[in-house]
Chain A
């Protein structure tokens, strides 16, 4: 393995319904912005990795339709599909391609157009003998796990609401975010309608249309093309028994995420994540999950997540800002969502995050989450 780095990122203007563009046009929007950010041309790209959920838009082989938008014509093009982790997994696949010496410059693009299909039904098309008859989509799955988290760790609805307020306030500084509100209040969150007890509308991530892309380059090319690349220091992915009832208290334990994080921490010498990380872009599909994962990711001890958010530790000006972009709660084009985490973490290192830049960010964590069955973690840094 040789070092590899992210030298450019690009995102579409995510929204509820991007009816103005077809799927290939949406992808091109993100790809163009990533290539422009990296200051390279399509001819410089050696390979393309795509991430998408397929069934959400009800069309098989998306790469067949959108590949041209991704500049994949006559290039090696690989599709990665690992649920919600598809985006982060595709970034890791692109990293492996560049770090292994297989290719020098890899373009990774994730996308989703939720407005065109049925996300929750796409999720429910699982095991036809058992799961499918009792599926209630991502929402029901989260809500079930949250009841355990609240019962065992005493986390409150107000603490969860604080996460939503932080996200919307941060998103107000992010031109790409789908939902933004600098003035959102805890009361707004707690009075929004119940989707599945105890999850309210503002606790839950939206379904967005959008695409995101990053350009990964081998060490030699990164040094040539970029004055301050975001080096991928370590990446890990973990799979798990997929049946919802198999893993006890899985939101609390989330052993895929814990194991993936411990793996990248160990390889980068991180013993105290709260102190040693400068910024984190974590895949938090619901407010309560962000709190649970503060604990799983080692930002605090078990049961301390509520205090962390109340004390503002993870706010923009706090010791470890979490999701300066507004996170998944403010933009969620699923196939792109993991790419967005990595792109936002990279933008912090590249010093290109604009109004939500964390001053002096040198070490960043990005994570991916896919129905508890998958988790990814990446550490990005300012030096190889």
Chain B
């Protein structure tokens, strides 16, 4: 008996997550195209996206500072492989640009999409700017992607 039987299972899951106060304030800001970071009173590091604690100093973060909508591209790639989106399970096809962006006024970099998908037009150190969606909803995808500034 060498038959190999396999069983197909489709996992359907739904989740309901609490954001916490810091992420809530941050997302409310996005709804108004306002980007804010949380600064650690210990080491002075300005965290974006904001989170409740500094991983280095273990201090609670509560000091909000404004962040610009443009900054420096610190890392980039153009992904060509299709990807199953973790929020929906639907396929996101390539190519799409990804970058780590250090917005002016923040010390950490933000992981987000890039509008540019031509590798020859991307480089570490380029200036980039946030492009917003029309109907702002108070979520990460209020920023559609970052565009290379001319």
Contact = CB atoms under 8 A, between A and B. Distances in A.
Q: Are chains A and B touching in the complex at the 8 Å CB cutoff?
A: yes
Interface of A: 19-20, 58, 118, 120-121, 124-126, 128-137, 139-140, 143-148, 151, 193-199, 240-241, 243-246, 248
A19 B124 CA distance: 44
Contact of A195 (B47, B55, B80, B85): B80
B48 A196 contact: no
A155 to B, nearest CB: 13
Given A134-B111, A151-B124, A194 B80 contact: yes
Interface in B65-109: 74-81, 83-87, 89, 96, 98-100, 108-109
Given A134-B140, A148-B75, A244 B111 contact: yes
A166 B43 CA distance: 43
Contacts of A136: 79, 83, 96, 98
Contacts of B112: 134
B113 A134 contact: yes
A129 B140 contact: yes
A147 B75 contact: yes
Given A144-B98, A244-B111, A124 B85 contact: yes
Nearest to A146: B77
B75 A145 contact: yes
Q: In the complex, which range does the number of interface residues on chain B fall in?
A: 35 or more
A243 B23 contact: no
22 contacts: A128-B87, A129-B139, A130-B23, A131-B111, A134-B98, A136-B96, A140-B79, A144-B77, A148-B124, A193-B80, A195-B80, A196-B78, A196-B79, A196-B98, A197-B119, A198-B119, A241-B56, A243-B111, A244-B109, A245-B109, A246-B47, A248-B74
Nearest to B145: A134
A248 B15 CA distance: 32
Contacts of A244: 100, 109, 111
Contact of B4 (A19, A120, A130, A193): A19
A196 B81 contact: yes
B52 interface: no
A133 B80 contact: no
Contacts of A194: 80
Q: Which of B98, B108, B109 has the most CB atoms of chain A within a 10 A radius of its CB?
A: B98
Interface string B108-120: 1111110000010
B41 interface: no
A126 B86 CA distance: 8
Contact of A124 (B48, B77, B86, B108): B86
B101 to A, nearest CB: 8
Nearest to B79: A196
B9 interface: yes
Contacts of A131: 111
Given A128-B87, A133-B141, 11 more contacts: A129-B23, A133-B87, A135-B86, A136-B83, A136-B98, A137-B83, A144-B77, A144-B98, A196-B80, A196-B98, A243-B108
Q: Which of A130, A133, A193 has the most CB atoms of chain B within a 10 A radius of its CB?
A: A130
Contacts of A20: 4
A240 B108 CA distance: 14
